[in-house]
Amino acid sequence: MYSINAMFLSYLSSKISVSESVNKTFVWYYERFWNQSEYLNKNIAHNIYCLNLFGEPIISLDSFTEKVSNPIVISTYPSNNQSDVPTNVEIVVKFDRNIDKRTVTSTNFILKEGTKIIQGNLNYNEKDFSIVFKPLT
């Protein structure tokens, strides 16, 4: 059985680009091994890790399976529990991964000053996984 490294080198030696070699290697691996064995599925991340010469995975097992956990807030601006924040400051909430932008609504994202709801515009930035709220006041 060929290793993923050997297939990658074989594609590279046929004078195709690095990116095309990586793509063809993953297609080869998927077609021959992905659904054949539970043992192989568990080791795919290791094999892909070995493919990258810099020691960091090119792709992870998560790329092949859908994440089932909820996104996690990794930062906010202003910071959590910060006090004395003016009501006209942009609020930014950054997540650990992409979220469904259809869920970014005024029903799901509410800013209050005491009991008063602050009106504003919501935008979702898909490039950095963040919601930006701009108050109208």
pLDDT in tens, 73-128: 989 999 988 888 887 899 999 988 888 888 899 888 888 888 998 899 999 998 88
Domain that holds residue 100: 73-135
End position of a domain, from candidates 16, 33, 63 = 63
Whether the per-residue pLDDT at 53 is higher than 60: the answer is no
Residue 68 in any domain: the answer is: no
- pLDDT tens sequence across 2-14: 567 777 788 888 8
- pLDDT tens sequence across 60-71: 444 444 445 678
Q: How many CA atoms lie within 13 A of 33 on its CB side?
A: 17
Domains held by the chain: number: 2
End position of a domain, from candidates 63, 94, 112 = 63
End position of a domain, from candidates 63, 85, 107 = 63
Residue 49 in any domain: the answer is: yes
Question: Residue 123 corresponds to which tokens in the numbers above?
Answer: 């935008």
CB 96 within 8 A of CB 74: yes
CB 83 within 8 A of CB 92: no
In the chain, what percentage of residues exceed pLDDT 90?
A: 16
Angle subtended at Cα 129 by Cα 128 and Cα 130, rounded to the nearest 5 degrees? 95
What is the pTM (predicted TM-score) of this model? 0.50
Judge if 86 and 36 occupy the same domain.
no
Residue 96 in any domain: the answer is: yes
Judge if 53 and 87 occupy the same domain.
no
**Residue 66 one-letter amino acid:** E
Whether the per-residue pLDDT at 1 is higher than 80: the answer is no
The span from the CA of 63 to the CA of 74, in Å, is 20
For residue 117, the surrounding DSSP H or E stretch is strand 116-117
